[in-house]
Each structure stands twice: as structure tokens, then as C-alpha cells.
Amino acid sequence: MKIKLRTTLIFIILFLLVFLSAACTHTRKANSPQQLTAIADRVNILRVTEAMLETEEQRYVTPSATPTITPTETLPPEAETATAAFIATSSLTPTVTLTPEPSDTPTITPTTVTPRATFPVETIAPSTATATAEFAEPSATATPNIPLPDLTSDFNNKAFYVVQNGDTAQSIAFRYGTDTNHITGLNSPETEGFLKPGTLLLVKAPKHVYSSGTRILPDEYIVMGYPSIGYDLEYEVQRAGGYLSTYTEYTSSGTLTGTEIIQKVAIDYSVSPIILLELLEYKSHWVSGQPHTIVEEHYPLGWLGDNSEGLYHQLTWAAQELSLGYYGWRYGELAEIPFYKYPQPETPIYFNPHLNAGSVAIQYLFAQLYLYNEFEDAIYGANGFLQQFYLDFGNVWDYYVPDPHGFNDQLVQPPLTLPYNEGDEWSITGGPHLSWTTGSPLGALDFAPPMAIGGCARSDSWITASAPGLVIRNGIGTVVLDLDMDGHEETGWVIYYLHVRTDGKAEPGTMLPLHGRIGHPSCEGGNATGTHLHIARKYNGEWVQAYGPLPFNMSGWIPFGGEAYAGGVTRGDETVYAEQYASSEKVVHY
């Protein structure tokens, strides 16, 4: 009896060990990067995708041939509601005709693209989720001679997409390598402007090899958004006590400390000081320790390009690369990952379409520093950048809520006037061009006052406030006007004025009414061949393109362009083309 009891107990214990072992192999830590932004979303999206594909494929068989898909999980209520609403309002146009052979039951299985990662990731990503539809025997009235779809067609691949803040129809189409006519769920293929977050779209596009679709950080941690408010950079650096805490460097602005250099780059480029600090720690241990090599000491971010030695040059390079990735993604100009190092991948690798702009910015930067088969491990691996970020700041996705007032279909620019007094005859001398420098979008316009002589001559004309606001900072040639008057450049609408003369310039803390005096135009603050004003916008710490989804509307004039400095402005049937030199033909009137 004892032997039998002992045998039973041993059997029970072995059974429990096997069960727990199996469970553990399918369970990850709560703070694993692959789980943080992927698992729940991917499972839900897979289920919704299956329902979408089922509904669409039902159009291509007779009513009696009902497709059946058996999901392994129940859709959450919000996903079921969204899917039902999508199906009820969409008008799917059949582009593929399926007629099963009477003697067979065909199964359609779209190909899954395996992420090109060097670390474990889920093989089911939102853009590559697959569904298998099993069709019942067709009825006798089924059309017999309609051909099956060409499975080699470039646009046979279907992907399900959920709109995020900052998306436009054009940017989504560009990421997938298609056009808006192949996107189901839009109000119209010609839809312009930012889309409503949460909208469900079905995209037909060519098959690509994609990077990991696991999101890295929210956009606000890349641009100088709200997380930067109140972040005491100097305190954090001194508390860590590493090499950065005692570092100084001579720059064009004089000798600056390490903290001052980070702050300067963050403000100039409108990039979060948090991301700059974390990159510095990851690449060279400057924050909490000491550089380990001569390279880490002189090139702390690992970029060995021309004129790149020192902290300031390293950080300005990083800010530019982050901006190239961020705004290239935001405005539909970036899809393929531009790896810098050789060897290059045999097949192009594309940014996963489901990534947010902030995550693309980091992948873009790391693609300049690592080989194509190494860069994802450097980001997501056990000793990667993301793990370090979570150690320092925790899992920011746990408490992140997309901004309901972000770049979406509800966002409108506040009313703005031309930046000079009514009756003054200023000319447009620069169409849409870089808001700041390399990487920033074409978000700025140039205006020049009437001048008797050319060049950097003194002008007594006044630059004026395009809207009421609070002057929150000025610098060499700059004045920044905060339109929501909360005192934070990181939130709300901000107007950036450049080339403002030192004498007569509005001081920080000044409340300006509409047409209040900003200062006089000049050549101060950056490269300039003649006296003029450079004006740009930011929203929530992000530079805003002058044309496109949210045009820079001043007194009803709308910019157009595409190439830096080209184009001009238009209002009704009036059009003024920009030219470098002011003239009566280039005057933009109220």
C-alpha cells in the first residue's frame, strides 16, 4: 500500500513539473520588450483580421458556401465593435475572384513574413497575420469558369492596419509600397489630412521583409514632448556621478558642461534630452560610469564620420539621424531601412508599417551604427538599448495613453496672420524648407521686408506676432512664442521666429497681443545672405511641415512646394512664387 501511494505521489509530482515547465516556456516576464507592445495587440488584430478576411472572401462564393474560421480566442468587445462598424460602413470592391473546384475544398493561406531579428520575437506581427478560410462545397449555381487569383501578383498580399496618431492615407500607402486606391476603409482614396486613430484599414500591397514590429518608445520620448517637462537633467547627471558629470567642451557658444551641451542640442533640434542621455549611457557609459576605450571617450555615440569628434558633434549627429527617421516616417518619405554599414542585406528590409514614428527614429539611428543582422539585437536584446531604458525609466508603455489632442483628424491650426503689419510689403523669398536643419521637415517659410539695398542691411520694419502668445525664450536671432501661454515649449502650438535682430527683440515673459512686436529682421542666428525672417511652427514639441496634412495657413495663404525653398503660397486664385530676392511681384499682401 505504501509503495502504491509513493508511486502515485511521484506520478503527481512529475505531472505537475511537466505542466509547469510547459507553461513557463510560453510565459515571458511582464517587462519583456516583445510582450510590452506586441502580444495583446497582435492576438487581437489577428482575430479581427480573420473576421475581415472572412467577410471579404464571402463575396466570391455562392451564399451557400459559407467560410468558417474558428478563432482560438474571443475578440474583446471593443475589437468586435470596431470590426462590426468597419464592415457595416465599408464598401469592399471585389478585386479577386475565387471559385473553388467542385471536387475540392481550397484553402487560402497568405505567406507569413518572418521578422529579420537576431533575438526571439513573435512570428505573428500585425502586418503579417495570417488567416485560413475553409470553404464549403459550392452550390450547383456557382460560376464555373472564373479563374483563380494570380497568387504571384504584386498586390495579392493583404495586411490589416490600425491608424495611429500622425498617420495620413499617403504615409500609410508609402510604407506598404502601394497607393491609397489599395486601402479599404478610407472615406476616399483622395483623403487628405491626419486620420482618426483606431480606424481599421485593409491594405493590399507587395510582400516585403520587415523589421521587428515591436514598438520601442512613444513619440513624446523622441521629440521634445511633455515627458521633458520638469525633467531635471543636471540633477540626474550629477546624481549618477559618471564621466559626464565633470565633462566640459569648447563649442561655438563657448565652454559648456556636458549637461549644457545636451540641453542645447535638445532645444535646437527639438529632441528629447531623455533619449540623448540614454543613448549616451548605452553607447559609452558616460552617465553612470567611465568610457572604456579611446573611441568611447572621443566618439561617445560610436559615429566616426568627418568632424564628429566630441560630445557636441556626436549629439548633433544623433539628433539629425533621429529626426530623419521620425519625420521621414511621419510625412511618408521613408520605407526601406537605409543601413550604412557593409555588407548590406541581400533583400531590402523595410520598417514595419505598424511602428510609430518614435520607434522608427530609433531603428533608423541604430541602422547607421550596426550591421543589418545586428541592429535589432542592439535594440531589443537582453543587453540592448530598450532593456537599459526600462531599467532607468520603467516600462513607459504601462501608463502611456495616446494624446487625444495629438496629430489626428481633430487637430486644427489656430488662426494665424502674416508675421508683419497689414499694409507692409514683405516678399516671400523662401518656399517650404527645413524648419531647423538636416532631418527636420520642410516646415519653414522666409519673408523679406522692403529694402533699398540687398544683403544683410539694417531694417527697421517690424516682425509681428501672428497670434497672441507668451514669449518663452529668445537667443541669438531667435524668439519663441507660446500660443497656449502655459510656458512650455513641449506642449501646444509654438511659433519659432529666426533671424531676429538683437536690439528691440521681445524678451522672455512678455505677453504679446496679435500683431505685437517680435523684433526686426536681420541675418543673425544661422546662415543668411540677406535680411529676412525665417518662421516655423511646432506642436507638442514636434516640427510641423508647412504643406500637406496641416498646412501653415497665414491670413488664408497656403504654402505649396516639395523641394526646399521652391514653391510659394496660394490663396483663392492668387499665387505667389518664392524667389531668393525680394521684389514687388513677390509681395504677399493681407
Name residue 151's amino acid.
Answer: L
Task: Tell me what pLDDT residue 281 has.
Answer: 98
| C-alpha cell read off for 557 | 495663404
Residues linked to residue 1 through DSSP beta bridges, in sequence order = none
Residues linked to residue 517 through DSSP beta bridges, in sequence order = 464
What is the Cβ-side half-sphere exposure of residue 220, based on CA atoms within 13 angstroms? 21
pTM: 0.77
Instruction: Report how far residue 465's alpha carbon sits from residue 280's, in angstroms, rounded to the nearest whole number.
Output: 38
Q: Are the beta carbons of 61 and 135 closer than 8 angstroms?
A: yes
Q: Are the beta carbons of 586 and 567 closer than 8 angstroms?
A: no
Strands 511-512 and 349-350, by their bridges, are unpaired
User: Hunting for cell 500607402 — which residue is that?
Assistant: 173
Task: Tell me what pLDDT residue 10 has.
Answer: 52
Chain CA centroid to CA 400, Å: 16
Domain extents in the chain: 33-100+109-136+147-210, 219-399, 427-586
Other beta carbons within 10 angstroms of residue 98's beta carbon come to 19
| Class of the CATH domain delimited by 427-586 | mainly beta
Task: Tell me what pLDDT residue 194 has.
Answer: 97
Helix H or strand E segment including 51 = helix 39-57
Instruction: Report how far residue 204's alpha carbon sits from residue 559's, in angstroms, rounded to the nearest whole number.
Output: 32
pLDDT tens sequence for the chain (590 residues)? 444 445 554 555 555 444 444 444 443 333 454 444 444 444 444 444 444 444 444 433 333 333 333 333 333 444 444 444 444 444 433 333 333 333 333 333 333 333 333 333 333 333 333 333 333 333 333 333 444 433 344 556 899 999 999 999 999 999 999 999 999 999 887 788 999 999 999 999 999 999 999 999 999 999 999 999 999 999 999 999 999 999 999 999 999 999 999 999 999 999 999 999 999 999 999 999 999 999 999 999 999 999 999 999 999 999 999 999 999 999 999 999 999 999 999 999 999 999 999 999 999 999 999 999 999 999 999 999 999 999 999 999 999 999 999 999 999 999 999 999 999 999 999 999 999 999 999 999 999 999 978 899 999 999 999 999 999 999 999 999 999 999 999 999 999 999 999 999 999 999 999 999 999 999 999 889 999 999 999 999 999 999 999 999 999 999 998 799 999 999 999 999 999 888 889 999 99
**Residue closest to 470 by CA, chosen among 487, 491, 489:** 487
User: Hunting for cell 518656399 — which residue is that?
Assistant: 431
Task: Tell me what pLDDT residue 156 has.
Answer: 65
